[in-house]
Amino acid sequence: MINLPKDDYSCGWYQALPPAAPVKRLKGVQKADYAVLGAGFAGLAAARRLAEHHPQARILLVDAQRAAEGASGRNSGFVIDLPHKFALEHPDPAHKQKLLGLNRSAIAQLDGLVQRHGIDCQWSAVGKYQGAVGERGEAFLDHFEHLMKDLGEPYRKVEHGELSAVLGTSYYRRAIFTPGGYLMQPAALVRGMAENLPDNVELLEQSPIRSLQQEGGNWRLLGDEGEIQAPTLLLGTSIFTREFGYLKNRLLPVMTFASWTRPLTDAELARYGGQLNWGLTPADHAGTTLRMTADRRILIRNSYKHVPRYGGSINDGMRQRIQADHRQAFLARYPDLAEVPFTHTWGGVYAISRNFTNFFGQLEDGVYASACDNGVGAAWGTISGSLLADLAVGAESAQLRDIQQVTGMPSLNPPEPFLGLGVRSRIALAKWHSRSEL
């Protein structure tokens, strides 16, 4: 039995979009040269690159949901060029430079698509702040500065007064600004890319695949009302890769949550007093991410949950408690906007591994996968999906060699119930340690 995404229709990014075009579902027996499963950043990039390599091939891209309803449309709208979190701690400078090059190649790809197709997604080359609330955050920020110096990347210290003028709050002591990151509306970007696929890529949505079978040199993707038959299958399914029997007991499903406000009125914006269109991530990894969108919404993201049944692990009561935590973080930063309500609270599930290793490569004959983004989905999904297509068609490149050198096998997890107990304990401990930065 395949455990599928369970959409609660709570994602603010998706709900802010205009109605989607009529859906096309998988029906009957469909034969293709390539099948790509998962229409997020990785699957979209893989399908596009396959089409570039083989413009006469039939490529079917299939998803259980509508494009942008899944994790790719649920992040906080950052596309980050720097090695992320634990990857930035890697002792080998060459390893980090490869990651940096791969991420920047992904940003260039996305930028080209946005410009070429006129995708209206608040795409902005405005960089990113990394902020500290108190002494714990400042210690992390000092360490981040040290890592940036070692990496040889530009950064700028932003002291309290200048930072307050940007953020519209004096809650943060200081920050470090890095110029290479982009901001965007993730659901709008994903839908825009899905609506502008090459002519030989056919997107099939709301078409869950229940099982995979190999038969006569083809892979059969069995759905509710039809099946796809193709000799080559590319999986852009992240955590759901394990539902098809691959990377079992190696991927951890974690959901992180965000809430946002309605757009501020002119009077509220004047009271806010800061700038529009910026993003701040916490110096302390377990702290709070903060966004002011280009359309005047304030977004708060924190709270992590282990979700072994994905969306099925979350209920309304849990979401209300998470929203209450977000409300507390919002009021600490913006007490003068206490009357501004949250309109949506949502979670997005992603895959992490205990050794913080991304999987990229061939799983068996005719099956390729990029899985376990460790929380860096937009850039990593884009470049890994593109290079997975290169691997599947046998197209060698320096970038393909780079991604093969910086990826590996996620480590095995302990069995349940020890795994769940351990993950929940680690999340609770991190929240307690980081309580001053929330």
Range of the domain at 278: 123-184+252-354+421-437
pTM for the model stands at 0.97
Neighbouring-strand partners of residue 60: 35, 202
Evaluate whether residue 282 is within a structural domain. Answer: yes
**CA neighbor of 403 nearest in space, from 113, 106, 41, 53:** 106
Residue 394 domain flag: no
Residue-level length of the chain: 438
Task: Give, in order, the Cα–Cα distances in Å from 105 to each of 100, 202, 379, 388, 389.
Answer: 9, 25, 8, 14, 15
Sequential pLDDT tens for the chain (438 residues): 678 888 788 999 999 999 999 999 999 999 999 999 999 999 999 999 999 999 999 999 999 999 999 999 999 999 999 998 789 999 999 999 999 999 999 999 999 999 999 999 999 999 999 999 999 999 999 999 999 999 999 999 999 999 999 999 999 999 999 999 999 999 999 999 999 999 999 999 999 999 999 999 999 999 999 999 999 999 999 999 999 999 999 999 999 999 999 999 999 999 999 999 999 999 998 899 999 999 999 999 999 999 999 998 999 999 999 999 999 999 999 999 999 999 999 999 999 999 989 999 999 999 999 998 776 789 999 999 999 999 999 999 999 999 999 999 999 998 888 788 888 898 888 888 888 888
What sections of 245-335 are H helices per DSSP? Answer: 266-272, 316-333
Please tell me the distance from the alpha carbon of residue 89 to that of residue 48, in angstroms, as a whole number. 33
Q: Report if residue 211 sits inside a domain.
A: no
**Cβ neighbours for 27, distance < 8 A, ≥ 6 positions apart:** 225, 226
In a domain, 71, yes or no: no
Gyration radius of the chain over CA positions: 21
Contact indicator for 286, 235 with CB cutoff of 8 Å: no
Cα–Cα distances (Å) from 275 to 132, 162, 168, 278, 298, in that order, read 19, 11, 7, 7, 11
Distance separating alpha carbons of residues 61 and 45, to the nearest angstrom:
11
Provide the number of structural domains found in the chain: 1
Tell me what pLDDT residue 94 has.
Answer: 96
Residue 19 gets the label, from left (phi > 0), alpha (psi -120 to 50) or beta, of beta
Does residue 75 belong to any structural domain of this protein? no
Does 117 fall in a domain?
no
Alpha helices in 174-277, H assignment, sequence order: 186-194, 266-272
CATH of the domain at 341: 3.30.9.10
Cα separation of 308 and 296, whole Å?
Answer: 35
Token pair in block for residue 421: 């107990």
In angstroms, the CA 192 to CA 32 distance is 24
**In the prediction, which pLDDT does 156 show?**
98
Residue 267: inside a domain, yes or no? yes
Q: Is 46 part of a structural domain of the chain?
A: no
